[in-house]
Amino acid sequence: MTELTGQVRETFESRPTPHGFELWGEGRLRRLAVDFGDGWGHARPALDVAGVDLEHELGVAARIRIRSGQRVRVEVTLESVTHDVVTVPGPVMRVEGPRPAVSWLAGASGEIVLPSPKGPGLLTQRRGLSAPREDFGEAWLLEESVLLPPRQAVSAAWTYEALPGEELEVPAEQTWLPWVRHVPVGDGVEFSVPDGTVAAEGLTVAENEDEFIVTPQPGLQTVDVWGPAGCTKVEVGAFRDLAVLRGELMTTGVRNDVWAYVAVRHMMDSWVSDDLLDAVDTVIGEHQDRPTAWIASAAALAEPLGLPVGADAAEAAEEALAVASRRDGILLSLHGLTPGGVAAGSWPIGDFDLLGREAFEAIGYGRISTDPRRVRGADVTLAKLYAAGLGETERGIRLAAYAQAAENRLLAELSATPNTTDVAWLSI
């Protein structure tokens, strides 16, 4: 049995698998497995310790060792036993918890957070060169292919700890990372790297002693941060103001119900264009027989701009309600379009606390991440609404910071790849 003896205690059973080793428990970390792929033989249990040994057909020996303690330690070593230079498939670590993992696997640095109702679990890379795989909580520990010189060894080490807290609490990011990495166009991202350097192809990097200021371009880019352990890849980005993004969408994209909403928001924040107002009127008319929550909301906002569609807004909301999703219900209610005939409790919002928690999960709690997670404007907006409802409490301030980090990143992405629906949700 493997034991975690830190501030939160957990215990794990373990066993060899055909090509690796796994732990399983009932706490924040439900399962941790290390597997080897093609060319590796069957795993043999290690003597007197938790772990296994196995060999690759090209002449490489591998060891997996698991050690109990205040942090559970996972060590994986590959050692060449031949006089040739060989390349073998790298080991893969998979972890599972009560909620989807949030992973940052960036070369010389790596973390995997396991959110849970009782507080998070945290796996931290202590040695190795991690890289993301295709699913949440999956990592190459030593890159996908490992090159080994004759009679040389490489190794990876990770630790696991369980932290107290609550369902929407995750650990702070590593202290050397910039507090803000997605900034308005023209601003810089500051890195403090006392024992290293920063390189960013195609970007301006200004150096002052141990400080490096990177100026991103609109969109998302990658910075190489070199330190004693090697290279860590860090995403940065720059974003245009939301009002600018709305203005750019006026001349691009399909003129549909979501576009009509963005157009009205654009005119509310700038000036009323007769041509644009006529275009919105046309789109609203095209949806007269099939109104949507976006059309109803656009009509409600367009009335003060001089478009006489206020009655259409209320009628559209009534019809949209018949097929409304929970998010449509929230959209309508935010624009004062709750139909009077709807009985109490039947408005299709459902459990807003559940929606808020799902939104924070969808945005990865605003943490740095290499996961294949598509953050959407709806999730960001719902997370902001949930945080705002908590007021100036410690929890509310913390969750607002998560949501703001996710919004800045999404704005940077939208500054390079516009998306009308995301811009519409962020405009609410």
* Distance in angstroms (rounded) separating the CA atoms of residues 23 and 31: 6
Residue 268, domain member (yes or no):
yes
| Same-domain status, 218 and 298 | no
Q: Spell out a b/e string for 42-67, using b for 16 or more CB atoms within 10 Å of the CB, else e.
A: ebeebeeebbbbbbbeebbebbbbbe
Helices (H), 322-375: 326-334, 352-362
Same domain, 8 and 146: yes
Last residue of a domain, which of 342, 372, 406? 342
Residue 383 resides in a domain? yes
Asked if the structure places residue 277 within a domain, the reply is yes
The dihedral sign for the CA sequence 339, 341, 344, 348: negative
Label the pairing between strands 145-148 and 110-114: unpaired
Write down the pLDDT at residue 363.
98
Q: Do residues 190 and 298 both lie within one domain?
A: no
Q: What is 174-217 written as a DSSP string?
A: PTTS-S--EEETT--EEEE-TT-EEE-TTSEEEEETTEEEEEPP
Is 170 part of any domain?
no
Q: Among residues 131, 106, 243, 293, which one has the least CA distance to residue 181?
A: 106
**Host domain of residue 188:** 182-239
In a domain, 169, yes or no: no
295 and 362 together in one domain: no
Query: What pLDDT is stored for residue 339 in this prediction?
Result: 59
307 plus 329 within the same structural domain: yes
pLDDT of residue 210: 81
Low-confidence ranges of the chain (pLDDT < 70): 324, 339-350
The rounded Cα 273 to chain-centroid distance in angstroms is 38
The pLDDT value given to residue 309:
86
Residue 153: how many other CB atoms lie within 10 Å: 14
| Residue 115: inside a domain | yes
Count of residues in the chain:
428
Question: Which residues, in sequence order, are bridge partners of residue 2?
Answer: 12
Sorted by sequence, the CB contacts under 8 Å of residue 419 that are 6+ apart come out as: 377
Do 77 and 99 sit in the same domain of this protein?
yes
Please give the pLDDT value at position 190: 96
SS3 content of the chain, % helix, strand, coil (to 5): 30, 30, 40
Both 16 and 96 in a single domain? Answer: yes
Q: How many domains are contained in the chain? A: 4
The C-alpha atoms of residue 282 and residue 256 are separated, in whole angstroms, by 10
In a domain, 215, yes or no: yes
In a domain, 175, yes or no: no
Instruction: Give the count of alpha carbons within 13 A of 331, CB side only.
Output: 30
Q: Give the domain-ending residue among 113, 133, 162.
A: 162
Q: Do both 24 and 39 map to the same domain? A: yes
